[in-house]
């Protein structure tokens, strides 16, 4: 089944404790992206990656890191989480090379709480 998976689905942590949220897709997509969803602010892009070893900042990259060492994986790293990073996070992937539509496929989300 074609899908985007994220782990963990739920995480409660404390300020300053480094964490990684994993994202993996099995569709051989070139493009992968991380978003955060907050009430009243909608969905905002954190980072995106056009292919292996190529990443770029979205609208809200501060406090986050990403890496793209393999095509299928795109982990989101919070080196020193703070309470303002409490949010619902989504990973997504797409294949621009597949045509003009560029439908993004989303993971199920990771709800992160930073105390």
Partner 1 sequence: GNSVTQMEGPVTLSEEAFLTINCTYTATGYPSLFWYVQYPGEGLQLLLKATKADDKGSNKGFEATYRKETTSFHLEKGSVQVSDSAVYFCAPIYSGGYQKVTFGIGTKLQVIP
Instruction: Give the distance from CA 109 to its chain's centroid.
Output: 9
| Residue 11: DSSP 8-state | E
**Binding of partner 1 by 90 (CB under 8 A):** yes
- Within 25-44, which residues bind partner 1 (CB under 8 A)? 30-31, 33, 35, 37, 40-44
- Per DSSP bridges, beta strands 42-51 and 31-38 are antiparallel
**Binding of partner 1 by 2 (CB under 8 A):** no
Name which position in 15, 28, 59, 80 contacts partner 1 (CB under 8 A).
59
Name which position in 24, 25, 34, 48 contacts partner 1 (CB under 8 A).
48
Contact 74, 66 (CB under 8 A): yes
Q: Lay out the sheet containing 19-25: strands in order across.
A: 4-7, 19-25, 76-78, 65-66
Residues engaged in binding partner 1 (CB under 8 A)? 4, 30-31, 33, 35, 37, 40-45, 48, 50, 56, 58-59, 90, 92, 94-97, 100-104, 106-109
């Amino acid at each position: 089944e074609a899908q985007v998976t994220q782990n963990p689905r739920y995480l409660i942590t404390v300020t300053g404790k480094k964490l990684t949220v994993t994202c993996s897709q099995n569709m051989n997509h070139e493009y992968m992206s991380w978003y955060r969803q907050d009430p009243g602010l909608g969905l905002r892009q954190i980072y995106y990656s056009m292919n292996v070893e190529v990443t770029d900042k979205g609208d809200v990259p501060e406090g986050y890191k990403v890496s793209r060492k393999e095509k299928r994986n795109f982990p989101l790293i919070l080196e020193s989480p703070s309470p303002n990073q409490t949010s619902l996070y989504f990973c997504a992937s797409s294949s621009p090379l597949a045509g003009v539509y560029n439908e993004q496929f989303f993971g199920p989300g990771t709800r992160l709480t930073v105390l």
